Amino acid sequence: MILVWPILIPLLSAALLLLLRRWENVVRWGGVVSSFALLAASIVLLLRVVAEGPVAVQIGGWEAPFGITLVADLLSAAMVLITGIVAVAVTIYGLAEIDRREGWHGHHTLVQALLAGVCGAFLTGDIFNLYVWFEVMLIASFGLLVVNGTKKSADGAVKYVGLNLIATFAFLSGVGLLYGVTGTLNMADLSQRLEGRQEEVAVLVSAMLLLFAFGAKAAMFPVFNWLPASYHTPSVTTSALFSALLTKVGVYALIRTFTLIYDLDVPLVRGTLLWGAVATMVVGVLGAAAQNHFRRILGFHIISQIGYMVLGLALATPAALLGAIFYLFHHIIVKANLFLIAGAARRMTGAEELPQIGGLYAARPLLAVLFLVPALSLAGIPPLSGFWAKFLLVSASLEIEAWFIAFAALAVGLLTLYSMSKIWLEVFWKPHPDGPDAITGSVPTAMMIPIVGLAVLTIVIGLGAGLFVDAALIAAGQILDPQAYIDAVLGGRE
């Protein structure tokens, strides 16, 4: 039953917070309490999965493959855990940032609804149910984008909504075709029924439709344009939540479907993923180099980093998949933290346009040091977590003698360092254009707690990388040999 709680807790609290919205403080703190409950449930789930291997539960008592199955292997459980961590960080940060009006319009409720959708997507074992959780997540993110009521976020939302809906319909058509070919929607069952049928036209078409859909959700080249158009427009709390989780759900769905359901050895699928990933890395980092807005730079870097993760999947060796999974975790923590710091910097300096701000190193040295931790980690400087993530992927591509890909991955890392040093120079090092007195006040404690917490986590992952690599190795093993997963879902129904 533990599988149900990570979905049920945020879903119930979303409903509850909506009913209680008259009491502002109850709603604000209710979100934090619910996030802690989610974190606790996810820890219990992870311990269970570590002890027993993949676990599954049949909802409503309908046996698989007829009913809807919830299933967690190590990857799913770990993704839920990291969702819990991000949820706690973001809701605490929101205590200081979200104003009364945005809270009244439903920010806290929508955050919980989004978390429910994300956890549902990580835990479901049914491809149509995955579609439904994607929609829960999507409609909650639509709401979160517009609740601060500015023209800017409405403009961003138009692009976000318009482009994401196309991906949604591609997803739906792909699922329909897949059902037409196999007569089942259960992912474990699909995996068995498609054995030896991967080259059939209908299977390939559904694979490409799902690839397009998940690629668009993950912001892969060339369907990433919704991300830089919208991620800098809502409140920082919302931005951080989006940057940590939304695209990563797309990556997770890619990893899940293209190992469990589809076969990566089909040249069309593999080639599209591989070169799509390389183009995503390069275009994202070049886009970032051209920007002058704190959060827009970070937004383009999400795209670039998504390329690394998909690359790990597309290389399709155990070492590369291990790298992709490690990257996924490291990136969620680091990127959320960078967005949170961008919000703190805006609070101190009053703007996000790099030419208009500066002087933070002199005024708030602690914040500057805290920025350096995730920034250098993102660029891949040892011994921080990003170094190990990049090291695993580059060595995996060198192992199969993919020289060009290894070169691209390293070059993109260098350009990432350029972007991060640009932010460092402009925001922290150079004096504020309005003089040193422009920065007043201090960063609220509720903002500092998650920033410090995530920075510590980044250092811990970097220094204790061995433990995390071992865990990712087990997760990658379960993904490449999904027999335990299939047995957990179908339960020896042979």
Partner 1 sequence: METIVAVLAGLLVAGGAYLMLSGNLVRYILGLAILSNAANLVIFAAGRMSEASPPLIGYGAKAPAPGVANAVPQALILTAIVIGFGLFCFALTLAYRVFYAMGTARMDAMRIAEPREENE
Residues that bind partner 1 (CB under 8 A): 128, 132, 135, 138-139, 142, 146, 151-159, 161-162, 165-166, 168-170, 172-173, 175-177, 179-181, 185, 228-230, 232-233
Rounded Cα–Cα distance for residues 387 and 377 (Å): 7
Identity of the residue, 139 or 417, whose beta carbon is nearer to partner 1 in the bound complex: 139
Rounded Cα–Cα distance for residues 360 and 366 (Å): 10
Identity of the residue, 138 or 457, whose beta carbon is nearer to partner 1 in the bound complex: 138
Rounded Cα–Cα distance for residues 300 and 297 (Å): 5
**Would you state the structure tokens that stand for residue 142, as one six-digit string?**
């639509």
Rounded Cα–Cα distance for residues 135 and 139 (Å): 6
The distance of closest approach from Cβ of residue 441 to partner 1 in the complex, given in angstroms and rounded to an integer, is 28
Write the DSSP assignment of 367-413 as a string of letters.
HHHHHHHHHHHHHT-TTSHHHHHHHHHHHHHHHTT-HHHHHHHHHHH
Using a CB cutoff of 8 Å and minimum separation of 24, what contacts does 262-268 make?
A: 262/194, 262/198, 262/203, 262/207, 262/210, 263/194, 263/198, 264/313, 264/314, 264/316, 265/198, 265/316, 266/198, 266/199, 266/204, 266/207, 268/204, 268/208
Identity of the residue, 205 or 446, whose beta carbon is nearer to partner 1 in the bound complex: 205
What is the chain's length? 494
The distance of closest approach from Cβ of residue 228 to partner 1 in the complex, given in angstroms and rounded to an integer, is 7
Identity of the residue, 24 or 155, whose beta carbon is nearer to partner 1 in the bound complex: 155
Rounded Cα–Cα distance for residues 464 and 460 (Å): 6
The distance of closest approach from Cβ of residue 146 to partner 1 in the complex, given in angstroms and rounded to an integer, is 7
- 341 and 451 in contact (C-beta within 8 Å)? yes
The distance of closest approach from Cβ of residue 22 to partner 1 in the complex, given in angstroms and rounded to an integer, is 24
What ranges in 53-99 are assigned the alpha helix state H? 74-97
- 249 and 167 in contact (C-beta within 8 Å)? no
The distance of closest approach from Cβ of residue 371 to partner 1 in the complex, given in angstroms and rounded to an integer, is 25
- Among residues 319, 322, 344, 310, the alpha carbon closest in space to that of 449 is found at 344
The distance of closest approach from Cβ of residue 333 to partner 1 in the complex, given in angstroms and rounded to an integer, is 27
221 by DSSP, 3-state: which? coil
Identity of the residue, 183 or 464, whose beta carbon is nearer to partner 1 in the bound complex: 183
CA dist list (Å): 227 to 101, 144, 171, 300, 406: 25, 14, 19, 8, 26
Identity of the residue, 157 or 427, whose beta carbon is nearer to partner 1 in the bound complex: 157
Q: Is 84 exposed, middle or buried (0-12, 13-18, 19+ CB in 10 A)?
A: buried
The distance of closest approach from Cβ of residue 124 to partner 1 in the complex, given in angstroms and rounded to an integer, is 14
**Would you state the structure tokens that stand for residue 414, as one six-digit string?**
């260098």
52 by DSSP, 3-state: which? helix
Identity of the residue, 100 or 151, whose beta carbon is nearer to partner 1 in the bound complex: 151
DSSP 8-class letter at 1: -
Identity of the residue, 206 or 349, whose beta carbon is nearer to partner 1 in the bound complex: 206
Identity of the residue, 78 or 163, whose beta carbon is nearer to partner 1 in the bound complex: 163
The distance of closest approach from Cβ of residue 141 to partner 1 in the complex, given in angstroms and rounded to an integer, is 11
The distance of closest approach from Cβ of residue 43 to partner 1 in the complex, given in angstroms and rounded to an integer, is 32
The distance of closest approach from Cβ of residue 156 to partner 1 in the complex, given in angstroms and rounded to an integer, is 4
Rounded Cα–Cα distance for residues 191 and 264 (Å): 13
Identity of the residue, 81 or 110, whose beta carbon is nearer to partner 1 in the bound complex: 110
